[in-house]
Amino acid sequence: MSFSGQLFDNASPDGSGERLSEGAVLFHGRLSEQAEAILEAIRTVEREAPFRHLVTPGGHRMSVAMTSCGELGWMTDRKGYRYTASDPDSERPWPPMPTLLSDLAGSAAEDAGFPEYRPDACLINRYRPGAKLSLHQDKDEQDYSHPVVSFSLGLPATFLWGGFRRADKPKRLLLEHGDVLVWGGPDRLRYHGILPLPEGEHPLLGERRINLTFRKAG
């Protein structure tokens, strides 16, 4: 899906993606071939750190179920949003980030114009129909010079691509199975979110969408 009124070249530096704005590139279907291997990697993570519905500081139970891998994992509870080195449920370190995942994230970042990307956190979100993620900024990381890399698998979802204030009207784009979205540089702090996931049945994931977001958090 393209945006109208673009002022920039509509291609990523390596030509395989669609540039959404100066620091954001969407690679359609980039992961299609690796999807099963990625799902297997996620299964190894969830065996140690199962998906759970976290509670926001305001006391709201999130409709998206989450887990993490890497040196740091993102979490929220009544005390606030933050990264931790261990899973608060098991009190063990988060499972290591599978090399397959960090390699794929690094090469996507590079092709989007962010070389030498070494994520230390991967948040894994699981959406069932009806689950959503309200507009937010990813701003619990220490250094915003590193991009966020997002992988989408399973049912398609409408991604809200906002501005720099919550009130800015977001554009909408469809994120489908195998899509990779990279946002960094001047777009790093854009508001973004996911509309309630429509009902559906995906051949590989059934009634689910899985999204992974890689960050350099520490």
| 67 contact, one of ligand SIN, Fe ion, none, CB 5-8 Å limit per kind | none
- Residue 34: half-sphere exposure toward Cβ, Cα within 13 Å: 16
Question: What DSSP assignment string belongs to 44-111?
Answer: HHHHHS--B--B-TTSPBPSSEEEEEESBEEEEETTEEEEESB-TTT-SBPPPPPHHHHHHHHHHHHH
CA 204 distance to own-chain centroid? 19
Residues 218/83, Cβ–Cβ less than 8 Å: yes
Residue number of the CB atom closest to ligand SIN: 211
One-letter identity of residue 25: V
**Which residue, 113 or 162, has its beta carbon nearer to Fe ion?**
162
Considering beta carbons, is residue 41 or 175 the nearer one to ligand SIN?
A: 175
Report the alpha-carbon distance of residue 78 to residue 80 in Å, rounded: 6
The option from Fe ion, ligand SIN, none interacting with 149 (CB < 5 to 8 A, set by class) reads none
> Which stretches of the chain bind ligand SIN, using CB under 6 A?
123, 125, 133, 150, 152, 159, 175, 192, 194, 211, 213
Verify binding: residue 138, Fe ion, rule CB under 5 A. yes
For the CB of residue 201, give the shortest distance to Fe ion in the complex, in Å: 26
Nearer Cβ to ligand SIN, position 68 or 213?
A: 213
111/141 with CB nearer ligand SIN: 141
* Residues engaged in binding Fe ion (CB under 5 A): 138
